[in-house]
Structure 1
Amino acid sequence: MRRIAIVGAGQAGLQLALGLRTLAPDDYEVLVVSARRPAEIRAGRVQSTQQMFEPALALERALGLGLWDAVAPRITGAELVTADPPGTRALTVTGTLRAPAQSVDLRLKTARWLELFEERGGRVEYRSLTAGELPALAAAQDLTLVATGRGPLGELFGRDKRHSPYDGPRRTLAVVYLHGVAPQPRLPGHLRLIATPGAGELFLIPGLTLSGPCDMLLWEAVPGGPLDRWHQLATPEAVLARSLELMRHHAPWEYERCAGAEPTDAGASLVGAVTPVVRHPVAEVAPGSHVLGLADAVVLNDPLAGQGCNTAAHCADHTLRRILDRGERPFDRAWQQQTFAGWWEERARHSTAFTNLLLDGAPEHMRQTLRAAAGHPEIAHRYVNGFADPADYREWLLEPERAAAYLAAVTGRPPGP
């Protein structure tokens, strides 16, 4: 029986661990190292907004992990509003998803997955692993994977300058989960995005938290801009109060829906920032001993494009298939490099390219595309569904020439202002 250790108990690490215990329980002894127990996770702070689209959800369901399908609100589409000037609907793009998405609070999800992993015969060590302890752990395993990019463990994987154009955060982030948001009868089940050029974005996402269905607010503020007002806000009540203040000016139609809302619990907010980075996937922790990074440990994107948990799910699936196909052959450095390269080509590079395009401010050809989408449902449908499969954007959106050719084919005229 081969021994595999996974450091980190998030989307990628637990999905991979559960996949191994589900598909080949007699072939792999799987250890997960988690810094927190399920009860601590449930009692902690929210981690993200984690909307997941159908391709990623299908990977979970194939492993018996779609535990919230019957209770999680169905995200059936998206309404994207450009507010220019602030507080004014200048442009609206609405699209329906081919299959519903969902957002399940990671406190709820990862806590239950940890319990399920142990129920399926996996072993968990509940402790904070230091970088200095990693060589001993790796020496006792056939394969060790690091599925957390936080702190010194993430720093083991050196920054890949070719794919890491940023040396600091491109957005300041604030999240708060709410009960009591008034329903939107016109487009029930739709994710909402309000983008104010030069200032940032506001997302309102139907979701499921510990206490039931909720609405998740995510602010993406351009540093130093008018939405960047989240520093030193320590409580959900403070984040909600600041949210309402900003919404009254920047999205008054959403302020009206949220004015009577309240935080779902004492841990229902998070404020911070992310520096997007792509790291080298393999770290040598001792002479001849290598560990492989997974998901956010090696490809960390800003949540603006909603790719984090989706990319992590695809990373776990790709790595799972590679492990099962390897048989008794060693998980050497070359195999680890090839495993990352396959995931990068299949998914991660497309998520990264699209996210970075949005972070840098939509270029003119993309603004032309969104203007066309407002009047052409076919374009709106393709744009909204690209969030589920960002590889499609490469075919028609990321490059000006391809975007122009696509718009001309759909609209019958060259793109213009």
Structure 2
Amino acid sequence: MRKILIVGAGQAGLQLALGLQANGYDVTVMTNRTADEVRDGRVLSTQCMFDTALGLERDLGLNFWEEAAPRVEGLGVSVSGPESVEVPPAGGRGRVIDWVGRLDGYAQSVDQRIKMAGWMEAFEQRGGKLVIHGVAVSDLDYFARSHDLILVAAGKGELVSMFGRDAARSPYDVPQRALAVAYVHGLGPRPEHDFQAVRCNLVPGVGELFMIPALTATGPCDIMFWEGIPGGPLDAFGGVKDPAEHLALTLELMKTYTPWEFERTLGGVELTDAGATLAGRYAPVVRNPIGELPGGGLVLGVADVVVANDPITGQGSNNAAKCAAVYLDAILAHGDRPFDRAFMQAAFDRYWDDAQHVTKWTNAMLAPPPEHVLNLIGAAGQLEPVAHRFANGFNNPADFEQWFYEPEKAAAFLASVTG
């Protein structure tokens, strides 16, 4: 029986571990926190998993929360105008663009604290070895002598330094957004539609606010997620440590920049729990997939260890699920052959075939939009096929190649839907 070590217990690491376990592999997962510590700790992320990624979980029987989590059936975009445009009664800025597109298959968001804790427990219950211990490069040198393959799925800390930055695929070397997250109960519905939808609120020159229906330990909730341009008015959470202060600042900024979303909070919103806020920033990066150990062994990077995009397009957990699925297929197909450099590079290349589209799209969305993209966003408010294609691009980012990046392709697409 082949022995595999996975360092990291996130979406990709645990999905891959459970998939390998189901196929008879001897799998060990090493992580620095217990399931209870994860479950009772601070929120780990925002996330919204779209139809393809949900299907990968379903295929492995890991969709434990599918019946309980809200079904997200649409994705909407609002664009803030100058303060003089369509000023709401409460003040602040009004919208110059507002639309929603229906998803062909529903999306869902499950708080990763309950999801990862549940998967960790399932892995152990099914006979997997879960080791709670921090891991250093020197530890991997030791484990390389007793395992056929080591995968690093922990995207922070010393281990990441083994995977060098791929400068050709990493146009940014500093963070492009300051991130601030709050999980809340009590948010009212959007009056424009009677189904659950992720709402993307764009404030030109300032940043973005995302509203995501989700499930947490205390039931259905909503995630309010600011992405602020560094140095701008939304870059205000760095020194905020108190969760109540974090929520108050979130609401104050919503009142000023997205009053249509602020109106949904007037019935009274509260944090889902004491660990329901998170703030930080990181530079988007693509890294080389193979790490070399001091003793000469090799390790393979997984998901955001090797492709870490800004969360502006909501693709982190989707990428992780797809990476785990690609690596699982590659390992199963490899049989008893050595997991050498050629295997590792080929496995990553298969993952990059899909991940490159996410990286290109995400990096494009971090930059000021060109005129033809502004025209597409505006057209989606008048033409349902444009809104539909935008929304479903979140499930299949490769489709943006056909109509989004180049003015000529954008014009041809608009002509095709206007006759």
TM-score range, shorter chain: over 0.9
Secondary structure, counterpart of 1:81 in structure 2: strand
Report the equivalent of 1:196.
203
d(CA) in 2 for partners of 1:236, 1:85: 31
Mean CA deviation greater in 363-372 or 3-12: 363-372
Secondary structure, counterpart of 2:245 in structure 1: helix
Query: Under a length normalisation based on structure 2, what TM-score does the superposition of the two structures give?
Result: 0.96
Report the equivalent of 2:228.
221
Where does the alignment leave 5 or more consecutive residues of structure 2 unmatched? 84-92
Report the equivalent of 1:234.
241
Shift of 1:288: 3.7
Cα offsets for 1:241-262 (capped at 9, x unmatched): 0011111111112112113101
Question: Does the alignment pair 1:71 with 2:63?
Answer: no
Which of 156, 165, 172 is matched with 2:162 structurally? 156
Shift of 1:225: 1.2
d(CA) in 2 for partners of 1:398, 1:33: 41
Matched to 1:7, the amino acid is: V
Which of 36, 42, 46 is matched with 1:45 structurally? 42
Report the equivalent of 1:415.
none
Report the equivalent of 1:382.
389
d(CA) in 2 for partners of 1:93, 1:392: 20
Mean CA deviation greater in 329-338 or 254-263: 254-263
Q: CA RMSD in A?
A: 1.1
Matched to 1:105, the amino acid is: D
Count of matched residue positions in the alignment of Structure 1 and Structure 2? 408
d(CA) in 1 for partners of 2:408, 2:157: 41
Question: Does the alignment pair 1:319 with 2:327?
Answer: yes
- The percent of aligned pairs where both chains have the same amino acid is 50
Question: Does the alignment pair 1:16 with 2:16?
Answer: yes
Cα offsets for 1:253-297 (capped at 9, x unmatched): 211211310101000000000210000000111354110000000
Matched to 2:98, the amino acid is: T
Report the equivalent of 2:251.
244
Question: Does the alignment pair 1:395 with 2:402?
Answer: yes
Relative to structure 1, the CA distance from residue 185 to residue 375 in structure 2 (aligned partners, 3 Å threshold; closer, same or farther) is closer
Mean CA deviation greater in 226-235 or 180-189: 180-189
Counterpart contact for 1:174–1:230, Cα < 8 Å: yes
Mean CA deviation greater in 245-254 or 322-331: 245-254
Where does the alignment leave 5 or more consecutive residues of structure 1 unmatched? 413-417
Shift of 1:100: 0.9
d(CA) in 1 for partners of 2:394, 2:304: 18
Report the equivalent of 2:307.
299
d(CA) in 1 for partners of 2:287, 2:182: 30
Question: Does the alignment pair 1:351 with 2:323?
Answer: no
Counterpart contact for 1:314–1:343, Cα < 8 Å: yes
Question: Does the alignment pair 1:60 with 2:73?
Answer: no
Report the equivalent of 2:340.
332
Counterpart contact for 1:149–1:155, Cα < 8 Å: no
d(CA) in 2 for partners of 1:105, 1:73: 12
Matched to 1:231, the amino acid is: G
Shift of 1:185: 4.4
Matches within 5 A, 1:356-371: 356-371=363-378
Matched to 2:418, the amino acid is: T
Shift of 1:350: 0.5
Query: Under a length normalisation based on structure 1, what TM-score does the superposition of the two structures give?
Result: 0.96
Secondary structure, counterpart of 1:139 in structure 2: coil
d(CA) in 2 for partners of 1:84, 1:174: 22
Cα offsets for 1:68-91 (capped at 9, x unmatched): 111001111012000011521101
Matches within 5 A, 1:109-148: 109-148=115-154
